[in-house]
């Protein structure tokens, strides 16, 4: 497997003229890579230690406009710097960009050099530290869906994002002939990611016309989140190089299938050798620890939904029955109508799949929230309710996840669990982010959009 390479290997590659550019990127609240391109020699000489960026990058909207009202960064404080500290363990070649390597940076306070509390990577690291103190290692995997268009980003923008031409025109779930038509792009994606140290397992057609899914091998939670953001950025760049465009919106068109990012998770011992979720004597092979972990996620599913569905558009994916997008926070054994699905029952690969999140989620925030909820279940030794059987869409009496951003925001704001796990200042930061998203939506929504199912409430 062509893995992420070491600083020493980078130095050798630069000396040989193979690498001339190093991208240093942090992850913003939307899960986007934001950063600088360094001449490789300067990165090796000094920038590998740290560089700086304006702290408005974690206090802006998805259009990168500074948003008023944040306590952490604002005009009164002058929008100062924070430190970008490259995590050299994430250093990798970027195969689809000539002579280029990339490293993901932690976001540190300029004075204390501690993780900025509301930085997505810092939030996940805080929850992983809680697991580490218990001698526990978390493994995660995400399935990432997106739509491919036979037009460029520029062409779609020029026509106001109306009716972009999808790469297909009929259902292509697992469809080999249709995906063959898309293979020039998808092959470049699989091979480009693989050559950049991301172990791709497969790609496949999804339900919607032009809809695809990419799957990669599971990894420890931080590594998987790092992979996830590189995958999304890479897919966009590779598609762009071929004159195509993609979208990771949860529901880009109301009458077509939404795009999800299912999250698989399991807990293991500190060496990653023994599954703490597996118990051959337990019901369905589930250990008591796993049952408590899942019980915590169910108990707090409504509170963490914002971190799985962060935009107005995210909730359009939950509005219809029979779409494989769950609306009920229940668990079941291999049942895709439930919000949480038990996979690998009775094997060492036993895990829980959260099906709530869309492909627009930020993996660091989603993983952090899921772990916090699971740990709450373990700490309180919660009893797991019986597995749901049947069609969860028809269960009006079942625990329902929020179906609007407004509802999810208020539930997040009132979450004592998340305030204890993440800190008041972090929860308040993201509540403000969500409320600004709602405010901007209400201010900008057009009649054309309203007629296409983008309801104001």
Which tens digits make up the pLDDT trace of 350-401? 999 999 999 999 999 999 999 999 999 999 999 999 999 998 887 778 889 9
Which candidate, 345, 349, 354, 357, places its Cα nearest to that of 317? 357
Which candidate, 425, 412, 366, 433, places its Cα nearest to that of 63? 433
Model confidence pLDDT, tens digit, residues 8-44: 999 999 999 999 999 999 999 999 999 999 999 999 9
DSSP 187: H
For 454, the token pair is 């983008």
Which candidate, 305, 405, 311, places its Cα nearest to that of 355? 305
CA distance 227 to 249: 19
For 261, the token pair is 């990012």
Q: What are phi and psi of 33, to 5 degrees?
A: -80, 125
Global pTM value: 0.96
Within 10 A of 13 (CB to CB), how many other CB atoms are there?
17
The alpha carbon of residue 303 and the mean position of all alpha carbons in its chain are separated, in whole angstroms, by 17
> Any idea which residue has 């769950």 for tokens?
326
Handedness of CA 261, 217, 21, 189 (dihedral sign): negative
Which candidate, 426, 395, 403, places its Cα nearest to that of 413? 426
- How much is the pLDDT for 457? 36
Which segments of 30-182 does DSSP mark as H helices, in order? 40-42, 120-133, 153-158, 176-181
Residue 344 region by backbone torsions, left for phi larger than 0, else alpha for psi between -120 and 50, else beta? left
- How much is the pLDDT for 451? 61
> Are 79 and 67 within 8 A, CB to CB?
no
Which candidate, 437, 388, 387, places its Cα nearest to that of 408? 437
Model confidence pLDDT, tens digit, residues 208-255: 999 999 999 999 999 999 999 999 999 999 999 999 999 999 999 988
pLDDT at 106 over 60: yes
- How much is the pLDDT for 1? 40
Which segments of 171-274 does DSSP mark as H helices, in order? 176-181, 183-194, 221-241
- pLDDT band for position 4 (cuts 50, 70, 90): low
Q: Beta partners for 278?
A: 286
Q: Which residues lie below 8 Å from residue 344, measured CB to CB, with a gap of 6+?
A: 350, 351
CA distance 364 to 26: 12
Share of the chain above pLDDT 90, in %: 89
First to last CA, the chain: 48
Q: Which pairs from 318-321 meet CB under 8 Å and 24+ separation?
A: 318/401, 318/403, 319/403, 319/453, 321/393, 321/394
CA distance 107 to 73: 14
- pLDDT band for position 452 (cuts 50, 70, 90): low
């Amino acid at each position: 497997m062509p893995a992420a390479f070491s600083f020493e290997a980078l130095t050798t590659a630069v000396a040989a003229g193979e690498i001339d550019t190093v991208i240093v990127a942090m992850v913003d609240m939307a899960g986007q890579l934001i950063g600088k391109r360094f001449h490789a020699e300067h990165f090796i000489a000094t920038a590998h230690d740290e560089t700086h960026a304006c702290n408005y990058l974690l206090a802006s909207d998805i259009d990168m406009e500074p948003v008023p009202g944040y306590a952490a960064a604002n005009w009164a404080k002058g929008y100062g710097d924070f430190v970008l500290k490259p995590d050299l363990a994430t250093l990798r070649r970027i195969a689809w960009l000539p002579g280029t390597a990339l490293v993901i940076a932690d976001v540190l306070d300029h004075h204390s050099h501690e993780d900025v509390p509301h930085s997505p990577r810092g939030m996940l690291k805080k929850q992983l530290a809680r697991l580490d103190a218990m001698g526990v290692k978390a493994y995660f995997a995400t399935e990432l869906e997106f739509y491919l268009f036979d037009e460029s980003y520029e062409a779609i923008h020029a026509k106001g994002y109306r009716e972009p031409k999808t790469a297909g025109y009929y259902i292509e779930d697992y469809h080999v002939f249709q995906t063959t038509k898309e293979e020039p792009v998808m092959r470049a994606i699989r091979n480009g990611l693989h050559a950049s140290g991301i172990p791709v397992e497969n790609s496949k057609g999804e339900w919607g016309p032009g809809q695809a899914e990419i799957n990669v091998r599971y990894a420890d939670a931080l590594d998987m989140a790092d992979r996830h953001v590189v995958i999304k950025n890479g897919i966009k760049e590779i598609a762009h190089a071929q004159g195509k465009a993609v979208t990771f919106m949860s529901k880009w068109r109301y009458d077509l299938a939404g795009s999800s990012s299912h999250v698989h998770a399991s807990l293991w011992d500190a060496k990653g050798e023994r599954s703490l979720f597996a118990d051959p004597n337990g019901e369905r092979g589930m250990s008591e620890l796993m049952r408590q972990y899942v019980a915590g996620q169910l108990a707090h599913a409504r509170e963490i939904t914002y971190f799985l569905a962060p935009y107005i558009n995210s909730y359009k994916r939950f509005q219809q029955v029979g779409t494989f997008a769950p609306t009920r926070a229940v668990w079941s054994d291999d049942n895709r109508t439930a919000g949480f699905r038990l996979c690998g029952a009775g094997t060492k690969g036993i895990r829980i799949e959260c099906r709530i999140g869309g492909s627009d989620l930020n993996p660091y925030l989603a993983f952090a929230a899921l772990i916090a909820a699971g740990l709450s279940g373990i700490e309180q030794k919660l009893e797991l309710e019986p597995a749901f059987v049947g069609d969860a869409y028809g269960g009006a009496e079942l625990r329902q996840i929020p179906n609007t951003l407004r509802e999810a925001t208020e539930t997040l704001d009132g979450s004592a669990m998340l305030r204890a796990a993440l800190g008041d200042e972090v929860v308040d930061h993201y509540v403000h982010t969500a409320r600004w998203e709602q405010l901007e939506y209400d201010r900008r929504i057009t009649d054309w959009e309203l007629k296409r199912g983008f309801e104001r409430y």
